Amino acid sequence: MKKDINIILKNFLLFFLKCVIPVCVVGTIYLDIKTFGNVSERSFVEFGQEICLFVTSAIFMYLAHKKKANGLWLVAGFFMCMFIRELDAYFDDIFHGSWKYFALVSVVFFTFKAWREGKDRAIKTLAEYMQSPPFTTMTFGMMVVLFFSRAMGMGKLWKLIMGDNFNRVVKNVVEEGTELFGYSIIFLAAVEYACYLLSKKEE
């Protein structure tokens, strides 16, 4: 009985901690609008997205090294490529589209790291990750970033909603804010998986 109550209380606490994420997202949007009047390519929201991606990639790099889970190098590489893509505004200062070449280098590096100790082991550890409970949270975050935020950011949709009063700032806030929310979920899923995988050592 006492054990069950502790489990319930623990999960309620975790739920309230997770509720901090949407509050932080809205607060970041507020800060951008208050400071810049918009959510641009160089804003607090964009910075938040980049931080989430970089830390997520770093978590999977650490886990891949710590647990000898080669498949996680591929996951780390995927998020590193997304991180580089989010920095395209800065890479464009070199020349337009230069982020693609940096992403290509990242693909080669992380693929080499994953395959170095055998393709079979990489596939096995990647499959193990996809069978873990936090992977469901990860797929939800990816769905928000890759599909929902893009759909919500369609200019045609917002022109239909606002008509002659179309305001691009509103469209940007919804699109970039939803994207930051998705990246926050991805970061949360990475933290949950790190806790899940590292705790297995104690079993």
**Predicted confidence (pLDDT) per residue in 92-131, tens digit:** 888 887 899 999 999 999 999 999 878 888 999 999 999 9
Residue 200's CB: how many other CB atoms inside 10 A? 9
User: In terms of C-beta density within 10 A (0-12 exposed, 13-18 middle, 19 or more buried), how is residue 149 classed?
Assistant: buried
| 65: nearest Cα among 136, 1, 116, 128 | 116
pTM for the full predicted model = 0.92
At residue 201, the pLDDT reads: 54
At residue 132, the pLDDT reads: 94
Tell me the C-alpha distance between 179 and 201, whole Å. Answer: 34
At residue 203, the pLDDT reads: 43
Tell me the C-alpha distance between 158 and 149, whole Å. Answer: 13
Per-10-residue mean pLDDT of the chain, 203 residues long, equals 81 86 93 88 91 97 94 97 91 84 94 88 94 95 95 92 90 93 96 90 48
| 78: nearest Cα among 152, 144, 138 | 138
At residue 202, the pLDDT reads: 47
The amino acid occupying position 29 is I
| Residues 38-72: b if buried by 16+ CB within 10 A, e if exposed | ebeeebbbbebbbbbbbebbebbbebbeebebbbb
**Dihedral of alpha carbons 173, 174, 175, 177, sign:** positive
Rounded-to-5 percentages of helix, strand, coil across the chain: 85, 0, 15
Sequence-ordered list of residues with C-beta below 8 angstroms from that of 125, at least 6 positions apart, any chain: 67, 69, 70, 71, 72
Identify whether the C-beta of residue 79 lies closer than 8 Å to the C-beta of residue 60: yes
